[in-house]
Amino acid sequence: MRTLPRGLRVLQTSDSAEMPCELEVLLADEMAISVLARPQNSDSELGVEQLCVVAHAGADGIARTLRAGEVEHWEPPHNSLVRLSACALLPPGVVAAKAGVAAGDVTLYPAEHQCTWGSLGGEEPNVQLDFVTAVQPPGDMAEDIAGRPSSVREATTSSVATCTVSTEQIEFARAVGGEREFAVVRLLFPASMGGEPCPVARELAEIAWGKLPPA
């Protein structure tokens, strides 16, 4: 555990030899902020020490922001993705049936802007739904999915095949450089499983996009 000014403490909650690297920034009132760093793919060459460097950098950034008094409450627009919980957009039974993951294997991250179905690492199929901000769209919005312009990008390596489907929402209300909000569905199939991820990813995106507020 590291002790920082103003009663802040940083505690590593994961095993020092295992991935992912997980930390908690403990506040003076015993509330905690979780910080997690993990590789996206099983063939990543990043070791746990490198991941923990990233996690500690994130924790230190959180601590600096808190000490500077820069955290404030804000009211997002009525149609902002900030107001949604990522896991609510896809029923676990539907994800299990379409992507081949266990129905009960669902992880909702604390801010509720990322949800994962299945195990990470690349050895098994998994689905991820994220709400992110970016200045540029993550690809050409050339497809119509559930009445929304969407981009579909497939990528393969020797160990995995992934498909990422994205759609744009609105301008991010706290943008500093033109950032906009995007909803992103990502499906990963291990190479040993075979199959094309994009047809299934499109089906999942169609379900999720149908639950988004009007852009």
Q: Structure pTM?
A: 0.74
Domain that holds residue 151: 81-209
- The reply to whether 87 and 192 lie within a common domain is yes
Give the number of domains in the chain.
2
- The reply to whether 40 and 87 lie within a common domain is no
Task: For residue 107, list its beta bridge partners.
Answer: 116
- The reply to whether 17 and 87 lie within a common domain is no
Residue 101 in any domain: the answer is: yes
pLDDT (tens digit per residue) in 32-83: 888 888 776 656 677 778 888 888 899 888 888 887 877 777 889 999 999 9
Instruction: Please tell me what DSSP assigns to residue 197.
Output: H
Using CA atoms, how far residue 192 sits from 99, 122, 125, 161, 163, in Å, is 14, 10, 10, 10, 16
Domain end: 40, 67, 94, which one? 67
pLDDT above 80: residue 28: no
CATH of residue 179's domain is 2.60.120
For residues 127 and 197, what is the distance between their CA atoms, to the nearest angstrom?
10
pLDDT (tens digit per residue) in 120-172: 777 889 999 999 999 887 778 899 999 999 999 999 988 899 999 999 999 99
- The reply to whether 102 and 201 lie within a common domain is yes
**Count of C-beta atoms within a 10 Å radius of residue 106:** 17
- The reply to whether 61 and 118 lie within a common domain is no
User: What is the structure's pLDDT at 91?
Assistant: 93
User: What is the structure's pLDDT at 16?
Assistant: 61
